Each structure stands twice: as C-alpha cells, then as structure tokens.
Structure 1
Amino acid sequence: MRLVQLTVPTGKRQAILEALDERKIDYVVTDEKSSREYTAVVYFPLPDAAVEPVLDEIKETGIDEDAYTVVVDAETVVSRRFQALREEYEDGNVGSDRISRQELQAEADDLTPSLPVYVVMTVISAIVATAGLLLDSPAVVVGSMVIAPLIGPALGASVGTVVDDEELFTESVTYQIIGVVLAIGAAAIFALTARTTNIIPPGLVLSNVGEISERLAPDLLSLIIALGAGVAGVVSIATGTSVALVGVMIAAALIPPAGVAGISLAWGQPTAAIGATVLVLVNLLSVNLAGLLTLWYAGYRPENLFSLGETEQRVRKRIIGLALVVLLFAVFLGGISYASYETATFEQDVNDEVQQVLSQERYEAYELLEFEVVLDTDYPFRNPQRVIVTIGGPPDASAPELADTLDERINAHADEPVRVQVRYIEILER
C-alpha cells in the first residue's frame, strides 16, 4: 500500500479531484499557503498496482514534473472504499504485485551510489574477496559480496531500457564497466603485493586452492546462477521487497571471479585468467539479460506512449544482442564443461582398468591403495597429464611387468600420451 502526497498547481484543483472521484479514491485536501504556484496538497492511499495508472491519469490533467509528488509506504489502511479499490487492481498476476514505474526509477537511482563511494566500495570488496580466495576461506569471500555495491548498476541498465530513461541506462552501463575493471585491477594489485611481500607462502599453486580452482575452469552451471540472480534482483526491486540478499547473490556472480582473474594475472598466468574473466563477463551480461526480460514481462513501459514503439525496438535489439553474446560465452563454458566431463570419464575408465588388471589371478597378491589423475595447468581446458597408481603388496612379491601392463591399458583411454607412475608399497601383516 502507498500513500500519495500531491501538490496541486493553481487552476488544477478541480480536475485532479474529479479524476480521484471518478476512480472512487478517498482523499484529503489541505490548503497550501507557502507558495502561489500551489493551492493545495492532496493525500490519498492507493494499492501498489494502482499507483502507476492513477498517477498517469492525473498527469494527463496537466500536472508536470515540476509539481511535487511523494509516494511513501502505508502500513495499514482501514476503509471499505480502499478495499474495493484493491480488489479492482489486484488480480493476482505479476502486474498487480509490482511497484509503479515512477517508484521503480527512483529505486534504481537510490541503489546506485555516487561514483566516489562506488569506486571505494568496489575496491574494498575486491580486496576482501582476493584475501578470502588466497586464504581459501568461503566466509571471507561471502563477506566481500555483502559490501559490493553492484546491484544498482546491474539492474539500472535494464530499468533505464524499459522505461526509456537513456540517462539511467548510460550511467548504469558505465558503472558496470568501471566496476569490472576496478575489481580485477584491485585484485591483481593486492595479490601481487601479497605475493612479493611473502604474505602468501611462496610456491602457492593456484589449482590447489579450492576457492580459486573452481573459478579458473567455470562450467555452464555458472550461467544458471547469473540468470537466477538477474531475475531475483528484478523481482525484488519491482515488488518493493528487500534487495539486500539479492545484491549478495549478484555480487557472488561477479566479485569472486574478478578476484580470481586478478590473482591469475598477479601470478603471471594470463591463460589461467581467461576462464575467470569470461565468467565475470558472462555473469554480468546474463544479469542484464535476465533483468531486461523480467521487467518487460512484468509490464513496465515508458511513460510517453508515443515512444512505446521506439522503446520496443530498442528493447528487442538489446535483448537479441545480449542473448547472442551470452550464447557465445555459453558455448565457451560448454566447452569447459565437456572437457571436465571427458576428464571425469577418463578417470572412471582408468580406475576400472586398474581394478580389472589387479583382479587377474597372477596379481592377486596386490591391491589398489590410491589412484590419482593429475591434470595439466593449461586453464581453462585442462587435460590429464599423469596417472599415479599406488599399489600395495607383500614384501616378497615381484611383478615388474605390471607397470607396463597398466601403462598400456591406461593410455588406451587417453587422446594424448599420459605418463603413468606405479608406486609399490610393502604391506606387512602380523
């Protein structure tokens, strides 16, 4: 529910009150003595879904943007006429749950801080995320998402597009570009500083850090996360619910991958930064695409109906453009997912082969203790490089041909030659 406070310009009082009476809206009028330009202030409650059409109709009476219109939350309205008004506008669909176009624009503006604040908060969140990634601490990484100011620009571009506010769209896109560059740059500088000052143990292998390795070779599931964040973000802002937690989700899709990209650059591994950078870009574009589609589906349109056709064309072009770029990145992520699938299949096949060899009668004295497939460091498409097989057996057993047999059987499943290491451990039973 909303309480609307509208200043009435000179000569418009009767037209405004007639419009409210026609819609059977309760109102209170107070005379205004502070200015000759306004003769009164009208207060009237409205259901959320009624704010936009009522304000649009009042504007047709000659109210321009110079007049003050304030829309605030109303906790409770007790009135039979208000209940009838609610039943008229709230029919249970998406449009009846959303806030007005005017409130949406104001909310998008409020979610985007000033540029200095945005820069400082983005840099801080990137540094905290980088520290959490290097420490392999999920708690610290989550903390960095909380302070990231990314939800405003991420959703502002979609809002600006559907309501034909090109200034909001341009500002939001600019903020998003600045945010990505700042996050990667701040992460790279901080990681390089930590490395050169030995804050981080020398010889740290990035692939051995869980929080980092999972973002060096992202898969298609990352795209689903970003699309979900975009839809959830728009639904939260459009329905007037809290966007804090959704902001964390959007930051989760952007800040940690940006931190990994910066760490990879600091470690002198630009190829390793490719996967993380692609993840940042595809997540950013997916959030924008999901937000744009959701807002248009929710029924948001520009205020000036004469520009509706032009806006529809613009929305269509931007949706198609975003979809094509996201699809291109999705193919890249799909390639990484397929490479991971092939690696998993190789591991399973090799493990089965080792078990079959050891199940033979002549090797019955041996048992498989440990099995490991070591991948190369050619991110984001990693391939098997070594296979380490640890076998246990009695001290007096000897099977020199076992290593050759395993090497032959394992390489039969590899597209490229793989080094096979067989380690023997004596097992004493007493």
Structure 2
Amino acid sequence: MRFVQVLVPAGTRDAVVEVITDENIEYAITDETGTDEYEAIITFPLPTAAVEPVLDQLRTVGIDTDATTVVLEAETVVSDKFNELDEAYSNDSDDTTDGDRIARDELLARANELAPGIGPFILMTIVSAIVATAGLLLDSPAVVVGSMVIAPLIGPAMSTSVGTVVDDTSLVARGVKLQILGGVLAIVSAAGFAFMLRTVQIVPLSAVEVFEIGEVSQRLAPDVLSLVIALGAGAAGAVSLASGVSTALVGVMIAAALVPPTAVVGIGLAWGTPRVVAGSAILVLVNFIAINLVALIALWQLGYRPQSWFRTSEARSTTLTRIAVLTVALIILSSALAGFTYSSAQTAAFEEQTNAAINAELPPEAIMLDLTVTYSGFPARTPQQVIVTVGYPSTTEPPAIADAIDARIESIAPVTPYIGAKIPFIDQNRSHPRAMSPADAESPTRESSNTHSTRAITVELRYIPVERT
C-alpha cells in the first residue's frame, strides 16, 4: 500500500479531481498558498499495483515531472472502498505484470539509492575484498560471509538492468561504470593485500600449501553449479527490488557469487599461479554476466517500460539487443565452466579409483595414511604424480606392494594420444627399499612399440612405521 501526495499545478485541479474520481479513489485536497505555480495538494491512498497507472493518467492531464509527487509506504488503510480498489487492481493484473510490484518511479528511486556514491563504493569494495582475502587465507567461512555482507555490489547490477528497461541511459552508464570499477578494485585490493601477507611472511606458505586451504581450494575449480548461484542471485535481486522488499539479504547472495572468486584471483596473482587466476577470473566474468542477464529479463517480464509510449519501442530494441549479447557471452564463457566441471569429475573419479586400488593391495596390517595427486594441464587436468604414504607396523618389514600398486595405478591412469613417434613410459620413482632388477639397471625408461598412446605418470610410494596399540 502506498500514500501519494501530489502538488497540483494551477489550472489542472478539475482535471486531476476527475481522474481520481473516475478511478473510485478516496482523496483529500487542500489549497496551496505558498506559491502561485500550484493551486492545491491532493493526497490519496493506493494499492501498490495502482500507483504506476494512476500517476500515468495524472501526467496526461498536467502532472508532469516538474510537479512534486511523493509516494510513501502505508502501514494500514482502513476503508471498504480502498479494499474494493485493491481487489480491482489485483484482478486487472495480467501475466506480464505482478500485482505486488512497485511503480516505475519508485523502482527508479530504489535503484538510485542502491547505487552508492563513488567514495563509499570504492571504500566498501576495497574493505570487502581485503576481508574476503583474509577469510579465505584463515580458512574462516564466517569472515568470508562477513565480507559478502559489506560488499556494495547489488546496486550497480540492478541499476544497469533498471536503466535499460526504462530507457534511463544515465543510470545504465552509472551501473556499468560501478560494476567495472568494483571488479577491478576488488581484484587489485585482494592481490595487493595477499602479496603483502606473503612478502612479510605473515602467511609463509608455498603456492601448493595456500591452495590446499579449505576455503581457497573450494573455489579453485569453478563449475556449472557456480553459474546456478549467479543466475539465482540475479533473479532474486530483480524480484526483491521490484516487489519493494528488503534487498539486504539478496545483496549477500549476489556478493557470494562475486566477492570470494575475486579474492581468489588476487591470491592467485600474489602467489604467481596463472591457472588459478584464469579459472577464477572466468568465474567472475560469468557471474557478472549472469546476474545482469537474469535481472534484465526478470524486470522486462515484470512489465517495466519507459514512461513515454514512443520510447517503449527503442527500449525494447535496446533490451533485446543486450539480452542477446549477454546470452552469447554467457554461452561462450560457460563452455569453459563446463570444461572445468568435466575436468573436476574426471579427477575425482581418478582419485576415487586410485584410492580403491591402493586399499585393495594393502595387506591387513598396513594402512594408507595419505594420497596426494598432482596434475598438469589447463583447463583439462592430467594426473602427473601420485604419492602414496603407507603406514606399517614398526616391528615388521615394509610390505612388498610397490609393483602391484604401480600396475594398478597405471591401468586406471588417463591415456594421452600421440601419433608418429615412440613415446617412453616414465618409470616409477620409488622411495622404499628395493633392489634394482637387471632390467631396471639396463633400461630406467622403457620404450613402447605402440606409437599411439602413453601413460606419463609417476608413482611414489612412501613407508612410515607406526606403532600399533
């Protein structure tokens, strides 16, 4: 429900009252004595869905944008006539509009409020990126969530979409500028902060150790599910904005799709890992595009159009063009996410099979303490080295399982195709005590007569004596 106050320009009082009366709206009107430009102030309650059509009718009789119009949220209206009006507008809403959506002017006002001034936006973006980086390196989900709460990212995305559907080019330009600025600032801030932590040895970890941190490792392999989060965030942002409800929690969801990946890009830059930078940067771009695309589609489907009918055609053309461009960009970048998803599934399957194969070869008195697999390649990842740590009773000799594990892992390792050359099989590098056979001494690498494939994977088996209780 809304409570509307309108300054009535001189000479339009009768026409304004006629419009209000024809709509069966209860109103109060008082004379305006402060200026000769206006002759009255008219106030009336309206259902939320009625604000936009009623204001459009008033503008046709002289209430233009120069006349002050105030729309306030009303807690309660006790009136049978108002209830009838509310029911009438609820029944009149069609499939393209929502009876609970706010008016165009109110939507514009909310979008402008959500896009903060440049100073606060820069400050809050830098702070949120630094806090997110600290949270990731501390492996603290609570700190990462806190960085999402303070991130001012919902405003620019929603402003761009709102400006497009209502043909407000200045709002579009402001939203796009803030989104680009926010993304660059977040990455630079995260990279600078992470580099400082590494340089002064506050985080004295190698790149491998950093990317084994739980909160960081979760975001190293962006996949299609990450896209689902961004799509949901964009839809939720548009609907919450159009319905007039609080956007605070939705802002956290949008930040969840953007802030942690930008922090991971910064960490990757600080530790000099191009693969991490590329993967997370693609995810950031995909999420930005997805949020804007879904918000744009949602607002257009909710029925928002420019105030002037002759601008509707131009707005439609602009909106459809931007939807097409964003869709193509999303499809292209999402193919990379699909590749990451497939690669993650392949590596998970390989590690699961490797784990099962090793356990199948272990004698009852031995136990696998650790399994580490390193990969090469981008975006497709090929296992390069497998390190198996086996614990055995300190009172016995290490179990002779090296050859069996070698054969097992070699049988499940991915095959890389080659044509027209002899490719050597890389021999296993063993750290356990084992006498070298004559064949090993003569040929540390074995050549294959098969010129079409090779399994280039190194297996290292480590033994650690353990005390059994």
Between the aligned partners of 1:283 and 1:90, the Cα distance in structure 2 is 35
Further displaced range: 280-289 or 90-99 = 90-99
Equivalence for 1:305:
309
Between the aligned partners of 2:63 and 2:413, the Cα distance in structure 1 is 74
Choose the corresponding residue for 1:131, options 112, 126, 134: 134
Choose the corresponding residue for 1:296, options 286, 300, 307: 300
Contact 1:368/1:389 (8 A) holds in 2: no
State the shift of 1:142 in Å: 1.0
Give the partner amino acid of 1:177: I
Matched position secondary structure for 2:99: helix
Matched position secondary structure for 1:96: coil
Choose the corresponding residue for 1:114, options 109, 113, 117: 117
CA separation of 1:133 and 1:399: change in aligned 2, threshold 3 A: closer
**Alignment TM-score, normalising by the size of structure 2:** 0.86
Q: C-alpha offsets along residues 177-215 of structure 1, whole Å, 9 cap, x if unaligned?
A: 000011101111111112112222243622111111222
State the shift of 1:269 in Å: 1.9
Equivalence for 1:96:
99
**Alignment TM-score, normalising by the size of structure 1:** 0.93
Equivalence for 2:231:
227
Matched position secondary structure for 2:244: coil
Equivalence for 2:244:
240
Equivalence for 2:256:
252
Contact 1:48/1:100 (8 A) holds in 2: yes
Bigger share in helix: 1
Further displaced range: 39-48 or 118-127 = 118-127
State the shift of 1:298 in Å: 1.0
Aligned residues: 424
* Larger Cα-atom Rg: 2
Give the partner amino acid of 1:64: D
> Following superposition of structure 1 onto structure 2, how do residues 22-41 of structure 1 map, counting pairs within 5 Å?
22-41=22-41
Equivalence for 1:412:
411
> Following superposition of structure 1 onto structure 2, how do residues 348-427 of structure 1 map, counting pairs within 5 Å?
348-358=352-362, 364=363, 366-376=365-375, 381-393=380-392, 395-396=395-396, 400=400, 402-415=401-414, 416-425=455-464
Contact 1:217/1:381 (8 A) holds in 2: no
Equivalence for 1:361:
none
Between the aligned partners of 2:378 and 2:201, the Cα distance in structure 1 is 25
Matched position secondary structure for 1:83: helix
Between the aligned partners of 2:275 and 2:364, the Cα distance in structure 1 is 45
Between the aligned partners of 1:310 and 1:134, the Cα distance in structure 2 is 48
Contact 1:216/1:273 (8 A) holds in 2: no
Between the aligned partners of 2:284 and 2:267, the Cα distance in structure 1 is 14
Q: C-alpha offsets along residues 294-314 of structure 1, whole Å, 9 cap, x if unaligned?
A: 111111111111122221111
Between the aligned partners of 1:51 and 1:279, the Cα distance in structure 2 is 40
Between the aligned partners of 1:368 and 1:302, the Cα distance in structure 2 is 70
Q: Does 1:278 pair with 2:277?
A: no
Contact 2:9/2:62 (8 A) holds in 1: no
Between the aligned partners of 1:302 and 1:184, the Cα distance in structure 2 is 36
Equivalence for 1:328:
332
CA separation of 1:148 and 1:398: change in aligned 2, threshold 3 A: closer
Q: C-alpha offsets along residues 289-331 of structure 1, whole Å, 9 cap, x if unaligned?
A: 1101111111111111112222111111111111111111111
Between the aligned partners of 1:223 and 1:399, the Cα distance in structure 2 is 47
Percent of aligned pairs sharing the same letter: 50
TM-align CA RMSD: 2.0
Contact 1:373/1:384 (8 A) holds in 2: no
Further displaced range: 90-99 or 234-243 = 90-99
State the shift of 1:128 in Å: 1.2
